[in-house]
């Protein structure tokens, strides 16, 4: 499963080609499955992460379809209707316990300006992969880090992730810079693993472990972000 528009790559490839095989929440061991019937609302300092909705299709199409955003990512759906289908697909995946997609909604906005996604790499979320993207007008504003803290607290505390992987094209300065800021550790290079824009790119594999996240957030006093349904 590929990462990058980590978000839409993994999601969309499966979305377009796989169909929705049976996979029930009972396969999720060691984690709450309450979220399979609807994602909780996560609060950051100036941002809310909530389940992606059909009404987000327009803003996501506009913001995530931007060349700057998708430069190192798999192509997202190329129509608003395509985003609507993608959103419906994420709901099915969440219900089956495999894949979750949070919309990033800054305070003062009503629609998504980005997404954080996570999918399990085995039968549980013990090892999982994430992908994220936000619209270019929000880059460098702190929105990413505020969203990421809430998202990662949920991943480690509720999904009981032990090892969280993230991948970014080696040339993707912001993507790799963002992963580094989260405390992720670069592990190795996947050579020429990802075709984008007519050429094959190297990807850097990063990981965050639960102990590291818990230590870092305890030290920074950023645990216990408000979580409500």
**By CB under 6 A, which span of 3-11, 93-101, 209-217, 220-228 interacts with ligand COA?**
3-11
Residues in a beta bridge with 207:
165, 185
Of the candidates 63, 87, 134, 152, which one interacts with ligand COA according to CB under 6 A? 134
Task: Give 22 or 67: the residue with its C-beta nearer to ligand COA.
Answer: 67
Of the candidates 23, 27, 121, 145, which one interacts with ligand COA according to CB under 6 A? 145
CB of 125 to ligand COA, least distance (A): 18
Q: Could you give phi then psi for residue 193, rounded to 5 degrees? A: -90, -10
Q: Which of 48, 41, 46 is nearest to 110 (CA)?
A: 48
CB of 200 to ligand COA, least distance (A): 17
CB of 7 to ligand COA, least distance (A): 7
Strand-by-strand arrangement of the 127-134 sheet:
185-196, 199-209, 163-169, 127-134, 114-120, 99-106, 47-51, 41-43, 227-228
CB under 8 Å, gap of 24 or more: what pairs does 66-69 form? Answer: 66/135, 66/136, 68/136, 69/5, 69/133, 69/135, 69/136
Of the candidates 42, 60, 69, 150, which one interacts with ligand COA according to CB under 6 A? 69
DSSP string spanning 56-112? GHHHHHHHHTSHHHHTTS----SSHHHHHHHHHHHHHHHHTTSEEEEEEEETT-SS-
Of the candidates 52, 101, 178, 196, which one interacts with ligand COA according to CB under 6 A? 178
Residues in a beta bridge with 195:
200
Task: Give 22 or 140: the residue with its C-beta nearer to ligand COA.
Answer: 140
SS3 of 224, please? coil
How far apart CA 179 and CA 129 sit, in angstroms, is: 12
The reply to whether 132 sits near ligand COA by the rule CB under 6 A is: yes
Residue 229 has which token pair?
A: 């349904």
The reply to whether 9 sits near ligand COA by the rule CB under 6 A is: no
How far apart CA 15 and CA 94 sit, in angstroms, is: 13
Of the candidates 2, 3, 50, 208, which one interacts with ligand COA according to CB under 6 A? 3
Give the contact letters, 81-120, x = binds to ligand COA (CB under 6 A), - = no.
----------------------------------------
Of the candidates 11, 52, 133, 155, which one interacts with ligand COA according to CB under 6 A? 133
**By CB under 6 A, which span of 21-29, 95-103, 168-176, 221-229 interacts with ligand COA?**
168-176
Of the candidates 177, 191, 192, 195, which one interacts with ligand COA according to CB under 6 A? 177
Task: Give 6 or 77: the residue with its C-beta nearer to ligand COA.
Answer: 6
């Amino acid at each position: 499963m590929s990462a990058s528009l980590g978000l839409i790559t993994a999601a969309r490839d499966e979305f377009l080609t796989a169909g929705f095989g049976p996979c029930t929440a009972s396969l999720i061991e060691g984690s709450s499955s309450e979220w399979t019937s609807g994602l909780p609302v996560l609060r950051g300092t100036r941002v809310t992460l909530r389940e992606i909705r059909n009404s987000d299709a327009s803003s996501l199409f506009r913001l995530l379809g931007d060349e700057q955003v998708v430069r190192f990512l798999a192509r997202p759906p190329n129509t608003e209707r395509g985003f609507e289908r993608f959103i419906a697909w994420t709901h099915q995946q969440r219900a089956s316990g495999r894949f979750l997609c949070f919309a990033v909604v800054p305070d003062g906005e009503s629609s998504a300006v980005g997404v954080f996604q996570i999918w399990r790499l085995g039968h549980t979320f013990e090892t999982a992969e994430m992908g994220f993207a936000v619209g270019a007008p929000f880059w460098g504003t702190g929105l990413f880090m505020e969203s990421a803290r809430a998202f990662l607290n949920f991943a480690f505390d509720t999904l009981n992730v032990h090892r969280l992987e993230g991948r970014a094209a080696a040339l993707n300065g912001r993507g790799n810079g963002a992963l580094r800021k989260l405390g992720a550790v670069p592990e190795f290079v996947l050579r020429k693993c990802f075709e984008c824009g007519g050429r094959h790119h190297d990807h850097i594999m990063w990981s965050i472990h639960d102990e590291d996240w818990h230590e870092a957030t305890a030290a920074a006093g950023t645990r216990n972000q408000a979580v409500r349904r």
